[in-house]
Amino acid sequence: MDELIIGILIISNTCLIFFVVKYLVAPKRIEALPKLLQEGNTQGVIKAATAIIAKQPKNVEAHYYLGMAYLAENRTSVALIELKLVSQMGVIGRAIPEIDFRQTIAQLFIRCNQPDEAIKEYLLLLKLAPENAEFYYQAGKLFVERNRIDTAKHYFYKAAELNPHDGRIHCELGSLLYKEQRTQEAKAELEKAIQSSGHHDQAYFYLGKLLKDAQDYAAALQTFERALRSKEYRIKALIERGICYTALNAADKAIGELELAVKTIGDEAHPDSLYARYFMGACYERSNQIDKAIAQWDKIYAIKKNFQDVGSKLAQYEDYRYDILKDYLNYGDEEFLALCKDMAAKGMGFKVKEMKMIPNGSELIVLEGNSVIDENNRDLYCIMRFYRIHELLHEHTVYTMLEDLKRQNIHRGIIVTNSGFAQDAIDYAKARSVELFDKEKLLKLLQDIQ
């Protein structure tokens, strides 16, 4: 009997010691986690917190410090899982700083592309700390992303009221006001942003756009230069500088800026990259470097076929895909006249009497036949016009040829073009003494003389 009593007492004491140790030791392990985290011992935190959770799955503090340890190791997705559990179980009454917690989880939601959840957290934060300008600013940025511009401006204005010296807030307001074409208000906010922070790339960029819109290109160029140091705005600023130089008819400088923008491209599919190549192509087109323009448009078309008018541009300059047409389109005046002479003489058997350049092409006066002929016989003369143009030729071109034939007492005319003829030109030339040579016939002539 005594042995039974002694056994019961031993078991009772053992259980009591177990529960006392569990009571005393577990809290100490939880209390040790903040210090371990502060010391950077994330693996120690993860190991200890995981052990606690295995025994106490609803231990909020353990989940919190586990999430913070994962976050410190940049393991974003698992950190968010743990902190979401903390949020679901509740932090009120726990040894967890609620404001810090909600700031952390809000930023995690942003990083994990869950803006709606992030907005909810910032709205909760504003209830906890209604005088905190940062929370209004962050909420405003999230509303901009959701395209709720009026709501975003409301939060930015409140943030500016609480912290008028924060350049970021004025910068966001200025950018939104610029997009709404509220020029004077936008300028005031952007200037405040620059004065407040001393340097803000986004503010310089939008202030540059305001100056460009006002056609103050010299000032715009200087302002955009200040935005070039920004990784986010570098390509945008280079494009805008290229546009400014284009407006100033400084083609070489424009091309230089846009070439630099293209070299800066990281993500080819990003809208900034597409615009950089598009304006680069436009610059090359203006300077008659069509091959280089096509190369830019081709790269855009491979990524986004319906971007701006790239499809129609490529169709318009399709002739440049033919190597045989490139010389015809790119030759200088002297070489071009020599090429036209070869097509008339070698390709069609004419004797060339006169040659000259005309707008968008050349004009040749030729005689039919290679044998000895009566050069005074006007019936044997013909006027040939070779056009280098990318638009269809219309009725007016045929009418002008007929008038010149009549004036020079010549009875035959030939119009050659690399593009083609509109239907009104084709109809007007019917039953008249003007022949029309479209791109296919031109290609045949070029092939014959090759």
What are the tens digits of pLDDT across the range 106-158? 999 999 999 999 999 999 999 999 999 999 999 999 999 999 999 999 999 99
Residue 366's domain comprises: 331-449
What are the tens digits of pLDDT across the range 246-278? 899 898 899 899 889 888 887 888 888 898 899
Boundary residue ending a domain (74, 96, 118): 96
What is the C-alpha separation between 86 and 89, in angstroms, rounded?
5
pLDDT of residue 199: 63
Backbone angles phi, psi at 370, to 5 degrees: -105, -15
Whether 375 is covered by a domain: the verdict is: yes
Higher model confidence: residue 38 or residue 17? 38
- CATH code, 76: 1.25.40
pLDDT of residue 139: 95
Least confident of 8-12, 85-89, 206-210: 8-12
pLDDT averaged over every residue in the chain: 87
Four-residue CA torsion sign, 77, 82, 87, 91:
negative
Distances (CA, A) of 284 to 117, 153, 383: 47, 41, 34
Whether 305 is covered by a domain: the verdict is: no
Residue 370 has pLDDT above 80, yes or no: no
Q: Is 22 left (phi over 0), alpha (psi -120 to 50) or beta?
A: alpha
SS3 356: strand
pLDDT of residue 198: 62
Which of 375-414 are b and which e, b meaning 16 or more Cβ less than 10 Å from the residue's Cβ? Answer: eeeeebbbbbbbbbebebbebebbeebeeebeeeebebbb
- CATH code, 374: 3.40.1350.10
Boundary residue ending a domain (48, 72, 96): 96
Boundary residue ending a domain (49, 75, 96): 96
Whether 39 is covered by a domain: the verdict is: yes
Whether 246 is covered by a domain: the verdict is: no
What are the tens digits of pLDDT across the range 177-187? 999 999 999 99
40: confidence class by pLDDT, cuts 50, 70, 90: confident
The secondary structure element, H or E, covering residue 415 is strand 413-417
Whether 70 is covered by a domain: the verdict is: yes
Whether 36 is covered by a domain: the verdict is: yes
pLDDT of residue 2: 52
Mean pLDDT for the stretch of residues 211-216: 94
Whether 308 is covered by a domain: the verdict is: no
Whether 38 is covered by a domain: the verdict is: yes
What is the C-alpha separation between 381 and 366, in angstroms, rounded?
6
How many domains does the structure of the chain reveal? 2
| 8 A C-beta contact, residue 340 and residue 333 | no
pLDDT of residue 18: 41
pLDDT of residue 212: 95
List the one residue out of 183, 235, 234, 248 whose CA is nearest residue 209.
Answer: 183
pLDDT of residue 448: 86
